[in-house]
Structure 1
C-alpha cells in the first residue's frame, strides 16, 4: 500500500480548538522569517520523495577527513553487525585527539523526522559543543530511514550499534558504565525508545538519555499539536506524514508498542535519568512535558526545560540567538553533572 493512498491526517478528537498560540521569541522569529515561507511548507506524502532528495543534496555530509578538523579529532567509520536478518550498521566514531581513555560516550541518533538526515552532518556541532569541552567520545548512528525501512528496523539498527559499542568498549577506549544515549527530534524519540528497549532486554544500561525536542507520540492528539499547526517549521501534517512513513499499516493502531512511539509506554520505571527540552511554541511541547511527568510519576529522574517562544529545532535554525545559547549551556551542564555523579 502506498503512503499517499494510505495517508490519514490526525483527527484531534477530543482536543479543544486553540484560540491563540504562544508568540515566537523575537530573535528566533526574525531568523525564521528570513528563511522564507518555503521553510515552513509541510511535509506531505506527495512531496516526501522530493524533500528526501533535496535534503540528501543540501544537507552537509562531511568526510572523515573533514571531521578530523586538522587533527583536532580522531574519527573512524565502523561497520558493525546489524540486527538479526538486517544489514550491517555504520557507526561514525569520534573523539578529541590525544585523550587517554576510557572516555564517557555519547551515543547519538540524528534528527530528520525518521525520513531524512545522516550520521555525519550532526558531528561537527556535537564535537565542538560537547565532545571537546567535556572530554567525551561520540558515536553517531547511521540508521535506516522510512519509508524504505519501517518500524522496528531503524530502532533495531540503533540497538545493534549500542550493543556492539558496549561489548567493544575496551577496543573503543570508552567506559561502558558511562554511555549516554541522545538525539534530537526523531533522534530524541529513538533515544527514548532505545532506553525502553535496553531496559526490557536487560541491557546495555545507559547512564542517561538526552532527549532534545523528541518525536514521541504518533497520535497527533495533543493540544500543542493543534495549537501550533501551520506555525513554525514542523506541524501536524508533517508529523502525520513522517509517522505514517515509519509505521505503515500500523499507523494509528491501538496496540502499537512503546518502542515504536514512546508516549504509548505505560511503564516508565527503571529508566536512566532523562534530560528533555522543548519549545513553548512547538507542537512537541505537550508530549515532551507529559513524558517528563510520566517519568517523575514512575519514580524516575527527569530534567525538563521548556524554552519560551522557541519553535521546533530552534537552536539549529538560529544558533546565535540568546535562547539557543542558553539551551546549549543547559544541556552541557546536565551532561557535566551526570558524568560527575558517576565518578563519585
Structure 2
C-alpha cells in the first residue's frame, strides 16, 4: 500500500485540491520568493469564502525585537466581550522556517481564541535563508517577553501564559519554551506544539518514508533545515530534539499524523518529555498527513483533531 493510499479518504480530497493549486507540491517552485507568494495566494484562495468572525477582534502592532535586531510585527486576537484579565497564548505560525506570515495562521488563531477565551499574540518572525538561526527563535522569545511584560496593558494573566504553534511553529514553540526555562522566564503554564519540526538529522524511518506526498516531503525538509541553520551546527534551541535536558518544561499537548514526516521524531520527543517528568498528552492521528486538518478542514478526522486540541487548551488555561 502506498503512502497516499494510507491517508484518510476525506483528507485525501483536501490534498488533491492543494496539489491542483500547486502542481508538484510545495517544493515544485525552486525560487523561495515565488514559492512563498504561491503558498500565500493558495491559502488565501482556500479561505476566501470564510466570513470574518465577529467574536474575535484583531489588532496589528509592532514591538521591539531582540537586541540589535529589527522590530517584530505581531497580531493580537482578543475574544470580544470577554472580561479580563484573560489567559494569553504566544502563537507561532508554520512554514518550515522559510515561509509563512501572520495571515497564514490566522484561522487557527481565531478559532482557538474564541473557544478558549484567551488573548492570542501571533508573531511575524524572520525567515531563512535571509535570516537563519537564531533569528526566528529570538524573535519569538522577544514576543513572549513583550507579552508577559505588558500584561496589564493587554489585560492578560501572568499566571496563565502559554505558547502554541504548528510545524516550524511547533518547533519554535518548544525552542522558545526552552529559552524561557533557561533564561529565567517568562513562566509558562502550557505548551502546545502541533507536529513540530524539531530534528535536523532526518534519520528516522518516517523521514525516509514520506518522500512524495507533496506537502512536506523529505527533500523539502532537508532544504529547509539547510537554509535555517545557515551552515551552523544545530544546538537544542535550533533543533529541540538535540536538547539533552527536557525537565522543567511546561505541561504539554502534542499531536502528529501517522503519515507525517515528523511522526517518529515527535513520538521520540513525547516519550522523552514524559521521562523528564513533563506532564504530556500526545496523539498520533491515523490517516493524517502533515497539516491535513488545515487542507481538509471538513473531514471528520480534522474535526476530531481540533476537538481534542481545543479541549486540551481549555483545560490548560482554566482556573
SS at match of 1:113: coil
Q: 1:45 to 1:317 in 2, by over 3 A?
A: closer
How many residues align structurally? 313
Answer whether contact 2:19 2:25 (CA < 8 A) is retained.
Answer: no
Task: Report the more deviating stretch, 75-84 or 116-125.
Answer: 116-125
Counterpart of 1:304? 282
CA positional deviation for 1:26: 1.4
Runs of 5+ unmatched residues, structure 1: 1-18, 62-66
Counterpart of 2:16? 33
CA-atom RMSD, angstroms? 2.2
SS at match of 2:121: strand
Aligned with 2:116 (options 112, 134, 147):
134
Q: 1:175 to 1:27 in 2, by over 3 A?
A: same
CA positional deviation for 1:124: 3.2
Counterpart of 1:283? 261
Q: Does 1:234 pair with 2:212?
A: no
Q: 2: CA distance between counterparts of 1:177 and 1:68? A: 33
Aligned with 1:267 (options 245, 263, 267):
245
Answer whether contact 1:211 1:275 (CA < 8 A) is retained.
Answer: yes
**1:230-287, Cα deviation, whole Å (9 max, x unpaired):** 235111100011111111112xx3xx21000111111000100111100001111001
CA positional deviation for 1:336: 1.6
Runs of 5+ unmatched residues, structure 2: none
Counterpart of 1:72? 55
CA positional deviation for 1:208: 0.9
Aligned with 2:185 (options 188, 203, 217):
203
Answer whether contact 2:256 2:284 (CA < 8 A) is retained.
Answer: yes
Answer whether contact 2:26 2:39 (CA < 8 A) is retained.
Answer: no
CA positional deviation for 1:55: 2.8
Q: 2: CA distance between counterparts of 1:96 and 1:325? A: 22
Q: 1: CA distance between counterparts of 2:2 and 2:41? A: 37
Q: 2: CA distance between counterparts of 1:68 and 1:324? A: 20
CA positional deviation for 1:56: 4.2
Counterpart of 1:292? 270
Q: Does 1:173 pair with 2:155?
A: yes
**1:265-320, Cα deviation, whole Å (9 max, x unpaired):** 11000100111100001111001111100101111111110000110000001000
Q: For the pair shown, which has the larger CA radius of gyration, 1 or 2?
A: 1
Q: 2: CA distance between counterparts of 1:156 and 1:113? A: 16
